[in-house]
Amino acid sequence: MTVIASYNHFGCGLVIGDILITARAKTGKLRPQTYLPTLGNVSKFSYQVPRILSPQQKVCIITDYCAIAWAGELRCARELVARLAKISRRIRITEKIIAGFVKKYPGKEVKVVGAIYEDGRLETFGVECEKLSCPTLGDIYAAGSGAPIIRDYVRTVKELHLSPPPDDQIAARGVSLALTQVAHLLNAEFRKGDAADSIQDFFGGGYEIAAFYGGKFNKVTANFVFLDVSLKNGFFNIGYPPLVISQSYLGETLRYRALAPRSPEDSRIRRNETIEVPPFFVRVDNDAARLVDSPSNFTCFVFVDNFKFFGKALISTVLKSDTPPFEYFVANSELDIRYSQAAEKHIKEFLMERYQGS
């Protein structure tokens, strides 16, 4: 149940990939219970076909100037990434070199999408992948069983008719577009929840984004806040979010914090889990090993209401600021949430605009 894609937003390369690894048959020993940020314990799917094996990072920053995402056989992908990492320490890798390595695996055992800064410009590429094009997202490459959702998203972005952003806003808007897509995938999986019949109802339970800005590729950290909107005495009512997913990195280890209160009116914690996904490989030349976990200044708010049908519109908004737009705390088994003043103002204006005249 893989989805990988690469976008080129006016020179800001974006590489997206899910974290779920499945097997086609009930072979081998059962792994320890697996937790996903959207659903928590998914051990019930371990006895189905396809079955969940483990979460893995599929987005790999090979060098500061090149990031890829892989799909296919885990063994082949691990071997491929290790080879690319090794050769990148001796020579500057290129799209042609990457394609040559991928094509050594017969039968399309591994597929790759990526973005690379080469010859003074950012380019996206794909090997054994589908190619699309969009004025806003550039040349797009997608692969995996989830490729249709990439096509759907590209069609939606085209319908927005976005103008090119100012140079100093290219990276922020590119990341926002990627976060929006990820947030709606997470929301769909989270809302399905226990009603899911099989793992085929989902894609990856979590998604990584690598973005090119500041002269190098970086993994994106963010908070995803899922909110229910209701009308109470003629006023909007937004209680505690049914789910908060905080996505960050400790060194190169992907870390999710998933929090869920008992209800929008009850702050007592029903779910409080930390899920760590180790790196697919470790870069010896990377400063990431010295990074520490820090608050995210990107927050994506996703709204679902019980009184107005939104149709296919993307009802979400992404905020980025020097002050984190959203922070959360857990004390005495209760959830405490705080919005920055700018976030409160933005959310009120966003909802008023969406519901005006309804």
The span from the first CA to the last CA of the chain, in angstroms, equals 38
**pLDDT at position 1:** 64
Q: Quote the number of domains for the chain.
A: 1
**Distance in angstroms (rounded) separating the CA atoms of residues 300 and 208:** 14
**pLDDT at position 199:** 56
User: pLDDT digits over 39-74, tens only?
Assistant: 887 776 655 555 566 788 999 999 999 999 999 988
Interacting residues of 14 by C-beta distance below 8 A, sequence separation 6+? 6, 7, 8, 115, 174, 175, 177, 178, 209, 210, 211, 212
Determine which helix (DSSP H) or strand (DSSP E) holds 17, and give its type and residue range. strand 12-18
**pLDDT at position 230:** 78
Query: Which residue, among 17, 28, 69, has the nearest Cα to 52 in the 3D structure?
Result: 28
Backbone angles phi, psi at 96, to 5 degrees: -65, -40
Residue of 225 and 308 predicted with greater confidence: 225
User: Is residue 309's pLDDT more than 80?
Assistant: no
Interacting residues of 303 by C-beta distance below 8 A, sequence separation 6+? 227, 228, 229, 315, 316, 351, 354
Q: 82: pLDDT confidence band, cut at 50, 70 and 90?
A: very high
**pLDDT at position 292:** 43
Strands in 138-143's sheet, in edge-to-edge order, are: 130-134, 138-143, 4-9, 12-18, 207-213, 216-219
User: Is residue 166's pLDDT more than 70?
Assistant: yes
Q: What is the mean pLDDT of residues 301-313?
A: 61
H helix runs in the chain, sequence order: 74-88, 95-102, 147-160, 170-192, 341-355
Separation in Å, CA 179 to CA 164, 201, 285, 291, 306: 18, 21, 28, 22, 24
**pLDDT at position 44:** 65
Given phi > 0 = left and psi -120 to 50 = alpha, else beta, which region is 357? Answer: left
Q: 222: pLDDT confidence band, cut at 50, 70 and 90?
A: very high
Q: What is the mean pLDDT of residues 117-135?
A: 95
Q: What is the pTM of this model?
A: 0.90
**pLDDT at position 357:** 57
Q: What is the mean pLDDT of residues 296-325?
A: 73
Structural domain for 109, as ranges: 4-355
Span of 139-153, 186-200, 220-234, 293-307 with lowest mean pLDDT: 186-200
The CATH number that applies at residue 306 is: 3.60.20.10
Q: 316: pLDDT confidence band, cut at 50, 70 and 90?
A: confident
**Distance in angstroms (rounded) separating the CA atoms of residues 93 and 81:** 12
**pLDDT at position 284:** 63
**Distance in angstroms (rounded) separating the CA atoms of residues 300 and 264:** 18
